[in-house]
Amino acid sequence: MADQHAPMLSLRGLTRRFGGLTAVDAIDLDLGKGELISIIGPNGAGKTTLFNLVTGLDRPDDGAVRFEGQDITGLSPERLAAEGIARTFQLGRVFGNLSVMDNVLIGAHTRLRAVKPAMAVIGPLLELGLALLRPAGVRAEEERLREEVKAILARFGERLLPRIDQPAYSLSYANRRRVEIARALALKPRLLLLDEPTAGMNPTETAEMQALVAELKAEGLTILLIEHKLEMVMRLSDRVIVMDEGRKIAEGPGEEVRTDPKVIEAYLGHGLSGTTEQESAA
């Protein structure tokens, strides 16, 4: 185990280039255990690319990612999921033809033990055999996970539970985002990356989501959050990182960052001042 004070996630000089464009440019970041850091910035600033680099869906051209002291740069997303890194996607990638229950059960995939014996070469064949024969241990594991999924879904009130057997494609946009988060929680993550969890949600739904994220933080979960709704960012974050054109242009406590001239310039004065007006009106 890493030292308690060592950051859980640390990025050093992380860089990703697409042709002539540097989407992520020498980003440094340290995220302590139990901390919540928000990444904000205009569209195209490289926030989602940064998430892709951390979760293994894309590989950096330069720099390193360390998770709990271990170098995880360029590992496959499958490996990283097994390490306890879960994420949600900006565009909402639920499994359309799977039921809500099955979607969330996929989140628990890395935790399957009874049906997935950790053995090289014959492991997959045993998995096939166990899935077909389903001895008591496998049935018990599946049953336990199903109960767990129901408990996770209960965190979203009556939003998802009544729809537990419905296919995900039939859900509303907001409910798909919730399914994504439920799926991420089913992994029992040590690090959770949320990519715009409230995109397309109305104020009530946003407030619900904000309360849930606050709850997760209070439970000690380490969270990296991409979010455009600044009020939520200010309330939840221990620190805020501002990205623009791939670079980190500011970092610090929310209040400090929002008055930073560089940040205001990056948003061309629109985003921040607009929100400030709204808030002062409220």
Partner 1 sequence: MSSWLDYTINGLIVGNVYALVAVGLALIFGVSRLINFAQGSIYLVGAYIGWVAVVRLHTPLPLTIIVVAAAAAVVGLIIERFGLRPLQNSVRIAPLLATIGISFVLDQLVMLTFSPNPRALPSQLPDVRFQLGGGTIGPLDLLIAGVGLTSALLLFVFLRYTKLGWAVRATAQDRDAAMQMGVDVNRVNQAVFGIAAALGGVSGMLVGMYYNQIDTAMSLQATLKGVVAEVVGGAGNVPGAVIGSLLLGLVESYGVAILGTSYRNLFAFLLLVVVLVLRPNGLFVSARQAPPEPLTGTFVAPSRPVHIPRLVLLVAVAGFALLPLFPVSFYVLQTLINAWLLGMLALSLTLVAGTMGQVSLGHAALLAIGAYTSALLSLTLAVPTGLAVIGGGLMSAALGTLLISPSFRLRGHYVSIATLAIGEIVSLVILNWESVTRGPIGISGIPPLSLFGYDLISPSSVYWFSLAVMVVLALLQGRLLSSHLGRSFRAIRDDDIAARAYGLSLNRYKSLAFIFGGFAAGISGGIAAHLYSYINHETFNTQQSILALTVVILGGLGNVVGAIAGSVALVGLPELFRIAAEYRILIYGIVLLLLVRFRPQGLLGTI
Residues that bind partner 1 (CB under 8 A): 18, 52, 55-59, 76-78, 81-82, 86-87, 89, 91, 93-98, 102-103, 105-107, 109-110, 112, 115, 124-125, 127-128, 131-132, 134, 142, 167, 169-170, 183, 187
Least Cβ distance, residue 80 to partner 1 (angstroms)? 8
CB nearer to partner 1: pick between 139 and 262: 139
CB of 179 to partner 1, least distance (A): 11
Tell me the CA distances in angstroms from 139 to 110, 111, 134, one per residue in order.
17, 14, 6
- Whole-angstrom Cα distance, residue 106 to residue 241? 31
What angle do the packed helices 100-107 and 136-154 form, to 10 degrees?
110
Distance in angstroms (rounded) separating the CA atoms of residues 9 and 39? 14
CB of 253 to partner 1, least distance (A): 31
Q: How many CA atoms lie within 13 Å of 113's alpha carbon, on the beta-carbon side? A: 6
CB of 77 vs partner 1, minimal distance in Å: 4
Residue (23 or 250) nearer to partner 1, CB = 23
Minimum Å gap between C-beta 159 and partner 1 is: 20
Residue 58 or 244: which CB sits closer to partner 1?
58
- When the beta carbons of 182 and 242 are compared against partner 1, the nearer one is 182
Cβ nearer to partner 1, comparing 56 with 254: 56
> How far is residue 180's CA from residue 174's CA, in Å, rounded to a whole number?
10
Which H/E stretch holds residue 243? strand 239-244
Q: How far is the CB of 174 from partner 1 (least distance, A)?
A: 17
Is 11 or 81 the residue whose CB approaches partner 1 more closely? 81
Cα-only R_g, the chain: 20
Residues sharing a CB contact under 8 Å with residue 164, sequence separation 6 or more, in sequence order:
99, 100, 101, 150, 153
